[in-house]
A = this chain, B = another copy of it.
Amino acid sequence: MGKVTATTTPWATELRDALGPDGVLTDPDVTSSYARDQAMLAPAGLPAAVVLPRSTADVVAVMEVATRHGVPVVPRGAGSGLAGSSNAVDGAITLVMTRMDAVLEVSPADRLAVVQPGVVNKSLRDAVAGAGLFYPPDPSSYDWCTIGGNLSTNSGGLCCVKYGVTTDYVLGLEAVLADGRVLRTGRRTVKGVAGYDLARLFVGSEGTLGVITEATLALRPAPSVPVTLVATFATTAQTGQVVERVVTTGLVPSLLEVMDNTCICAVDDLLKADLDRTAHALLVAQSDAGGEAALREIEALAELCREAGAEFVHTTDDPAEGDLLLQARRMALPALEQLGSTLIDDVAVPRSRIAAFLDGCDAIAAARALTIGVVGHAGDGNMHPTICFDPADADERERAFAAFDDILELGLSLGGTITGEHGVGSIKVDWLEREIGPVALDVHRAIKDALDPAGLLNPGKVFRSAGVRDLAGVRGLVAP
């Protein structure tokens, strides 16, 4: 990876003229820190410049300069992504949106907020909490990821089982198109069908269609204090049965998470939490239905656990104890990271196939002689099998990548998708083509070409341009 700088290029000069010198960084020692997101093993180039706009007008200026000079632009938030969506492209501008971090409006009367993309998810949550309101999407990185990044990848989180994902909260967007025009789309109203749903087309498009500069987001009333349940099981089949019964009996917990034995042991090692290391799976669930309704819902869930043969079931309406119980789930990934480098997968399967998916992951771990811990949003079928390996061991590394693909294959074979909430980014471009097929791929390309004919926005991410049959070094570029 050569050091590419843009200190003296005409476009860098034009950008400095427009944004001021502190908005355009070209020192490779600085720009290299913006090269990649949290998908540490995804390919990444080095930004020619890192540009930090303070306003929509700044973003317009950047895109106009980029279009004039044919310079690619990679939009980026805080860099918490897990698919390499915002990884740098050699010679391109990395457009870092973190300085546009204002909560422009919170309207309790219309139950919405208007924000700039650089607002941290938690900051928005805190800003609306004072008005008794709630912004549900809660990716694990909620205390540092930005709303702009959440919009780009259509982030989910623990709340999805009851409250849905980012796109479900998007009323309107402002986005700067590749040529610098400002698109405003959507609305401030609860309902609206005036024209195509461009807002939801842009959400999840991972910065390939435009740079989101403002969002109008629906909020919900603050939920009640949750009641919490933990249960452990001797078999995955039992866990799968509970999830299936939750679905078929119509329970709607506000959280329903699963961890496998590998995760249980890793968390126990890290937290010394005295977890049952022999349990094959652990479920954590919450209900925020409020008062007796929540108690009833959790008791119904406890009964489903007992019917399925749970070894241990515990419930509490003490929020502090609930937080402690959830802590085991929240620490699963940090705990797995103690075991080596991690490749975090992100498959969603139909809820009826969760047990089959967990068993399949066990089989893959055995066949590839690897440690794979599975943690997941059981309530919505979005699972994160996490492969732990030593990247310095070439053979193990190869087996890890093979297992990553095995898991995607397994997910598709069960009627699932290759990505439930992390996105395609740079790590699943081949798999996207496989999942959506040639017609849908052509439609993607047609829409991309219509909005970004020069292919400047986040090139090589999500899918290849027509004619590009191989993304140079998707695997070859992987840094150890």
A450 to B466, CA, bound (A): 14
Q: Are A447's CB and B444's CB within 8 A?
A: no
> Chain A interface residue count: which class?
35 or more
Q: Are A110's CB and B167's CB within 8 A?
A: no
Q: Are B181's CB and A417's CB within 8 A?
A: no
Is A2 on the interface with B (CB-CB < 8 A)? no
Given A189-B350, A351-B109, is A194 in contact with B382 using a C-beta cutoff of 8 Å?
no
Is A476 on the interface with B (CB-CB < 8 A)? no
A437 to B184, CA, bound (A): 8
Is A183 on the interface with B (CB-CB < 8 A)? yes
Q: Are B420's CB and A189's CB within 8 A?
A: yes
The chain B residue sitting closest to A436, CB to CB, is B195
Q: Are A194's CB and B443's CB within 8 A?
A: no
Given A183-B439, A193-B154, A443-B451, is A252 in contact with B221 using a C-beta cutoff of 8 Å?
yes
Q: Are A109's CB and B190's CB within 8 A?
A: no
Is A140 on the interface with B (CB-CB < 8 A)? no
A226 to B109, CA, bound (A): 26
Among the 9-residue stretches A69-77, A242-250, A262-270, the one with 4 or more Cβ atoms under 8 Å from chain B is: A242-250
Given A194-B435, A195-B440, is A248 in contact with B109 using a C-beta cutoff of 8 Å?
yes
Interface flags, A417-432, vs B, CB<8A=1, else 0 = 1111111100010001
Is A191 on the interface with B (CB-CB < 8 A)? yes
Chain B residues with CB below 8 A from A197, complex form: 154, 167, 200-201, 203-204
Q: Are B250's CB and A424's CB within 8 A?
A: no
Chain B residues with CB below 8 A from A437, complex form: 184
Interface pairs A-B: 7 shortest CB-CB? A221-B250, A109-B352, A190-B380, A446-B450, A450-B450, A192-B417, A189-B348
A contact residues vs B (CB 8 Å cutoff): 107-111, 132, 153-154, 156, 160-161, 165, 167-168, 177, 181-185, 187-198, 200-201, 203-205, 209, 221-222, 244, 247-252, 289-293, 348-352, 377, 380-382, 415-424, 428, 432, 435-437, 439-440, 442-444, 446-447, 449-451, 462-463
